[in-house]
Structure 1
């Protein structure tokens, strides 16, 4: 069981701006972050608000923090490698403090066809040769599982059922001689 440690207090002798820069650089070294995520980290470390704003503004000026670029990369990565639907990506970006207009711009790179193809690929990966889709009970059981999986990835239920039905129909058509 891991307990979250309380954030250390800011050393009264330390320069708050230097501490804030070090925190931000360390955070950006691990992975790209939104400005909001970095602000939260600075709040956790008890960096004064005016100092954190000045440091974050400077990092934005030199393009080390760019929410628009972060959103584009996030959407590209999560849609390509995790096959997540636009609604889930929109929610994740909003949780990371990305502005709604930047979210919409980033989501513009995903077409409905690409989203549907990603969902079909996910279901095909789960389809095993040992599954007897000709058996109605088996087909219904796996339909529920696959629709639930797609729902967790952010796909709406009607399109999830459509995709699963399409993949099952193709699998059944491939089985018949």
Structure 2
């Protein structure tokens, strides 16, 4: 009887988490562990959520990358790191990130630098621009190309 009650509470908590935004399987599992639910209960909840397609790490990864590129552009390296942090396995992350080619990453980096130049009261030096791009996870090739266009 207590197991069923715990399962229902855990499932309801997971469903509540999903009302705010999509979550990865790892996020849900971590949150349930923090609440003190047992592994067998968590596994049942995750099975339920997968069965009803309420969690799907590939869909989560795609939406996360789209949001990230629109809200706060990052390079492929940075995106890969963030997806790993959310527990997305390497194959799914690479499948999603394969859609971002070198040309698109270069465009994102150029737009980011241009925005920084336009919105900054201080002049943007090559060194600061390189640091910004590096912190945002752009590849060294992309950083080099952006800086080589610098006049």
State TM-score, norm by structure 2. 0.89
Note the C-alpha offset of 1:13.
9.5
Structure 1 residues 20-54: Cα deviation after superposition (integer angstroms, max 9, x where no partner)? 11110111111111001100000000111101101
1:10-89 correspondence to structure 2 within 5 Å: 15-89=5-79
Q: 2:143 aligns with which of 138, 160, 165?
A: 160
Q: Distance in 2 between matches of 1:129 and 1:17?
A: 51
- Of structures 1 and 2, the one with the larger relative CO (CA 8 A, separation 6+) is 2
Greater percentage in helix: 2
Structure 1: which 5+ residue stretches go unaligned? 1-11, 133-137, 170-177
CA RMSD of aligned residues (A): 2.3
| 8 A contact 1:123–1:164 mirrored in 2 | no
TM-score by length of 1: 0.77
Q: Counterpart of 1:98?
A: 88
**Larger Rg: 1 or 2?**
1
Aligned residues: 150
Query: Which segments of 5 or more consecutive residues in structure 2 lack a partner in the other structure?
Result: none
Runs of 4+ in 1 over 2 A off after TM superposition: 128-132, 156-159
- Once the two structures are superposed, what CA deviation does each residue of 1:115-145 show, in whole Å capped at 9, x if it has no partner? 100000011112249989xxxxx6xx61111
